[in-house]
Amino acid sequence: MSIIEQTAQSAIRLLKATKAKYIIVMPDGTTFSEGDLQLAVVKPRLRKAGPLPIGTYAQMCRPYDNMAVGDVVEFDIPPGGTGKSLHSGITAHFIHLWGKGAMKSCFNKKTNKVEVLRIS
């Protein structure tokens, strides 16, 4: 008997002694259960399909990864994108790259562009 099987059998003895309800699924698929419990089916998470391919905003930002402090860059909304998603994606990219507090960004409603200012 392997160490995994020994540990599982020990756990089952303890759970039975406490009159607990349980379901144990072993790595090989063997199931041990006590009580009227049902094993829940785990549905795979599906990524919601967006209007733009994944990484579009990151590709837009990459040429500006080495911006100097004090530089300002404006980003146009790509076809199929929205101002909110552009602002969110660009901000996430630069915060991940430079750190929190290293830039300021805003959506300029007059020009319909996202503006980024590097501050540190």
Domain boundaries along the sequence of the chain: 3-34, 56-118
Q: What is the pTM assigned to this prediction?
A: 0.61
Q: Is 108 helix (H, G, I), strand (E, B) or coil?
A: strand
Each residue's pLDDT expressed in tens, for the chain with a length of 120 residues: 789 999 999 999 999 999 999 999 999 999 999 999 998 888 998 878 888 998 999 999 999 999 999 999 999 999 999 999 999 999 999 999 999 999 999 999 999 999 999 999
Helix (H) or strand (E) holding 119: none
Tokens representing residue 14 in the block: 């303890």
Cβ distance 16 to 34 under 8 Å?
yes
